[in-house]
A = this chain, B = another copy of it.
Amino acid sequence: LPTTLRDVAREAGVSIRTVSRVVNEKSEIADDTKARVLAAIDKLDYRPNALARGLVSGKTSTIGVVIPEISDPFFPEFVQGVESVARAEGYSVFLCNTDENADLELKSIEVLAANQVDGMILCGSYLSTEQLQDVSARYNIAIVTSRTPRSAAVVSIPGRDGLEQITAHLIRLGHLRIGFVGTDIPERQERYLGYASALQAAGLPVDPCDRASTRIVNVETARQSAIGLLTQRPGLTAVACYNDLAAVGVLQACRDLGRRVPDDLAITGFDDIPLASLVTPALTTIRVPRHSLGEKVMDLLLRVMAAGKGYAERQETPIQLIVRDSCGGRQAADADGAKI
């Protein structure tokens, strides 16, 4: 029932090939036949079938972006970054949400692949490093991760560095008992390691009991585990968090427990999502330039698609300490060169 090239060709009294030509604006065509074809296209309201096109040409001009959690404020700006360069290069982007579920993620990847997208971007994947390795060997894939797959195209977020920096910041402010709220996913310990490393560098003990973890990290899970941590370890004067959502959860926990921030407890985040500056007190955090990160992976994906599946490259996104109000000591920090 939808109009096809054939219908248009019949209507215009030309061959299919000719119609295809005017549609794709390839080789030269006589002005009058072109006009006739255009008229027929318009009259019959013809629209090319992308499936047929992709089947024969082997190119769909689409890419897939797979993210684990659509409600995490980290992703919107990232996706917009991806889209801006994708659009400029003539690609349409399909977004897939996987609910922080590795099976669903794998499924999404296979569906996208089955639909012959020209490339995929994985951000914050829940796949095992091995699976990550697998799929990026099989398809055109660019990844955003802190991990180190043996050979793949990845832009990494220096989570370890970030937590080292921000924990050092807390230490400079005089904190001696600093906790950590994060995730217990084995592949996602780099931020915790940064925290621990900063403690060690300062000669402070790293006590596993100063740490609270949940698998999924969001405001609510962090709030719950922070309530536990803060009651069991009342001596903590600061808590470094896996990300801003966790920090907001700890903030909520303090509200529940009647502890004032930053007076009774200092809190730090990671990512600098918009929410970070909207809560009270505004969060001291590590900024990850999400929009440009998106542009950067898409650029990388372009290179992957040009070079083929084997292509490997590793880049790192810059980060920046942002000092706000959740740790107090704003003046002291300003002297360190940090800014809003």
Contacts and interface: CB of A to CB of B under 8 A. Distances in A.
Interface string A203-228: 00000000000000001000000000
A58 to B, nearest CB: 10
Contact of A76 (B70, B93, B274, B279): B70
Interface in A127-164: none
A73 interface: yes
A54 to B, nearest CB: 5
Nearest to A1: B58
Contacts of A50: 111, 114-116
A62 interface: yes
A113 interface: yes
Interface in A262-311: 274-275, 278-280
Given A55-B51, A115-B50, A99 B70 contact: no
A73 B97 CA distance: 15
A85 to B, nearest CB: 14
A79 interface: yes
A108 to B, nearest CB: 7
A7 interface: no
A170 to B, nearest CB: 23
Given A80-B70, A114-B50, A116-B50, A278 B95 contact: no
Interface in A83-118: 83, 92-97, 99, 108, 110-111, 113-116
Contacts of A48: 114
Contacts of A51: 51-52, 54-55, 60, 115-116
Interface residues of A, number: 41
Contact of A62 (B47, B52, B95, B115): B115
A71 interface: yes
Contacts of A76: 70-71
A71 B77 contact: yes
A51 B110 CA distance: 13
A336 to B, nearest CB: 26
Nearest to A248: B278
A70 B76 CA distance: 5
A54 B111 CA distance: 13
22 contacts: A47-B110, A49-B55, A49-B114, A50-B114, A50-B115, A51-B51, A51-B54, A51-B116, A60-B115, A62-B115, A70-B80, A71-B73, A73-B73, A80-B97, A83-B97, A92-B111, A95-B95, A95-B96, A95-B97, A219-B278, A248-B278, A275-B275
Given A95-B97, A278-B279, 17 more contacts: A49-B116, A51-B51, A51-B54, A51-B60, A51-B115, A62-B115, A70-B70, A71-B73, A71-B76, A71-B77, A73-B73, A80-B97, A83-B97, A219-B278, A252-B278, A275-B278, A278-B278
